[in-house]
Amino acid sequence: MKLRLATVLAATSVCVLVAGCATPVERANEKNDLLAAAGFHIVPVTTDAQRVQLETLPPNRVVQKIKDGKPVFLYADPYSCGCLYVGDENAWDNYKREQIQQKFLDQESMNAQMNENAAWNWSIGHPGWWMY
């Protein structure tokens, strides 16, 4: 039982470390894909005035502003595309739903990897990973 627990903990640690190794640009690209799929519109930053406005927003974070009495959600991406994502409440709801689904899929993948590692025979009588 201790060996199985150690195996599961080791597999979990490796998964967390690998997931944490993504660069800010890679994490931004993943988020950009979710934003675009959710219905956010991409606004390219082409002028210096727009670039200054982009820099006033926190990078790679969704912020809510009110425009004409309605909430508007903005996501500044200065690293990956140098653009602004703009969405309404419907796009924001879609984004949150996509984000939850992505986390669920990531968790399912990690569970499958852990189950595969836990099923492998690590006993003394069985040649282990060091034999390969």
Judge contact between 54 and 103, C-beta under 8 A. Answer: no
Looking at per-residue confidence, does 129 or 49 come out higher? 49
Tell whether the model's pLDDT for residue 1 goes beyond 50.
no
User: What's the pLDDT tens digit per position in 74-127?
Assistant: 999 988 888 999 999 999 999 999 888 888 777 877 777 777 766 665 556 555
Average pLDDT over the chain, rounded to whole?
77
Contacts with 59 (C-beta within 8 Å, 6 or more apart), sequence order = 76, 77, 78, 79
Quickly list H helices, the chain: 2-20, 24-38, 48-56, 89-119
DSSP-based three-state secondary structure for 75: strand
pLDDT band at 12 (very low <50, low <70, confident <90, very high): low
| Phi (first) and psi of residue 36, to 5 degrees | -65, -40
Q: Are 59 and 81 in contact (CB under 8 A)?
A: no
Bridge partner list, 42: 85
Amino acid at 61: R
